[in-house]
Amino acid sequence: MIRLSIPLRQALARLSLPVLIAAAFGAMLLGKADALLIERARMALADALSPIWGAVQQPFSAVRDTVAEAQTLWNIRTENARLIEENERLRRWQATALALEAENALLRRQLSWVPEPAPQYRTARVVADAGGTYARAVLLAAGPQHNIRKGQVALDERGFAGRVTEVGSRSARVLLATDINSRIPVTLEGSRARAIMVGNNAARPRLQHWPEGTTPREGDRVVTSAQAGAFPAGLPVGVVRWSESGAAEVELFAQLDRLDVLRLFDFGLSGILPPEAVARPEPRAAGRR
């Protein structure tokens, strides 16, 4: 230790706060100037901490499972009645589905339809909430030899959850569909109209830019659209709901507030621009739009 005189030490202590506040502004500038460096630092930190989170997550999920179990036991009777009724309904649907499948197979044979290859996927556990106050994202723990790429599509067991935006050596970050930066091209299944699903950090993202004349209907199913080449068509996303304020919103199938495991699909699509291209958009040609 270097021994400093008391007045000098006091002066240093008084000076340290302004200097550090200046350093905070410097960090902001650095974050704006070199997003890639910050991203790498973040993923390095996330990589280092993801084993800890993985371990800490176990008791949390155990507690949550116990609570869920207790709740299930509590309303097991009403649940049973509902399930019997639903089973009836599903049985009818199953018959319809089997008939349609047979018909579909028949028609495909006649059309010499080339089937799409089954997509590869891997599952990964959600270990941390990587969103901030103004962002919605989760962090996945992946093995050291994972093959997660940017732009892969993340689905939970029910439907579309988000997209991989950053990849570290043993973790990956998934930007959820509810994040304010999320823009997902979707199709309304009833009318085949295309629209954009825009996140707003609330539980239900909004629908925007649907074609004139085809207003989304309440209860219409929303699926992804292959429009920008970023998603395959037809992944289940949610259901249209009109809010009280008169905005078309999407009630997602995925339960984004209790994500445990996500499936990451590799559709081999490369429709998403690399971040460098997004950060510096080319100037628009003058005179044209």
Partner 1 sequence: MDIKGRPEPPMGLLRRLDAGARAGFPAVFTAFLIVLAAVPVGAPGLIAALALPGIFFWTIFRPAAMPAPVVFLLGLLQDLLSFAPLGAGVLTLLVVHGVALRWRDVLVRQSFLATWLIFCAFAAGATGLGWGLEAVLGWHLPPTTPGITQFGVSVGLYPMLAWVLTRLHTAMRRAELAL
CA distance 125 to 263: 9
> Cβ 284 to partner 1, closest distance in Å?
18
Q: Which residues pair with 188 in a beta bridge?
A: 222
**Per-residue binding letters, 131-150, with partner 1 (x by CB under 8 A):** xxxxxxxxx-----------
Q: Is 257 in the site for partner 1 (CB under 8 A)?
A: yes
Query: Cα–Cα distances in Å, from 170 out to 142, 146, 147, 153?
Result: 5, 7, 10, 18
Nearer to partner 1 (CB atom), residue 120 or residue 255: 255
> Cβ 220 to partner 1, closest distance in Å?
26
Q: Is 244 in the site for partner 1 (CB under 8 A)?
A: no
CA distance 48 to 178: 27
Contacts with 51 (C-beta within 8 Å, 6 or more apart), sequence order: 141, 170
Which range in 28-36, 90-98, 153-161, 187-195 contacts partner 1 by CB under 8 A? 28-36
Chosen residue from 9, 32, 82, 158 binding partner 1 by CB under 8 A: 32
Which range in 80-88, 101-109, 121-129, 204-212 contacts partner 1 by CB under 8 A? 121-129
Contacts with 274 (C-beta within 8 Å, 6 or more apart), sequence order: 150
Q: Is 25 in the site for partner 1 (CB under 8 A)?
A: yes
CA distance 239 to 221: 5
CA distance 154 to 172: 11
Footprint on this chain of partner 1 (rule: CB under 8 A): 13, 16-17, 20-21, 23-32, 38, 41-42, 45-46, 49, 52-53, 56-57, 60, 126-139, 173, 180, 200-202, 257-259
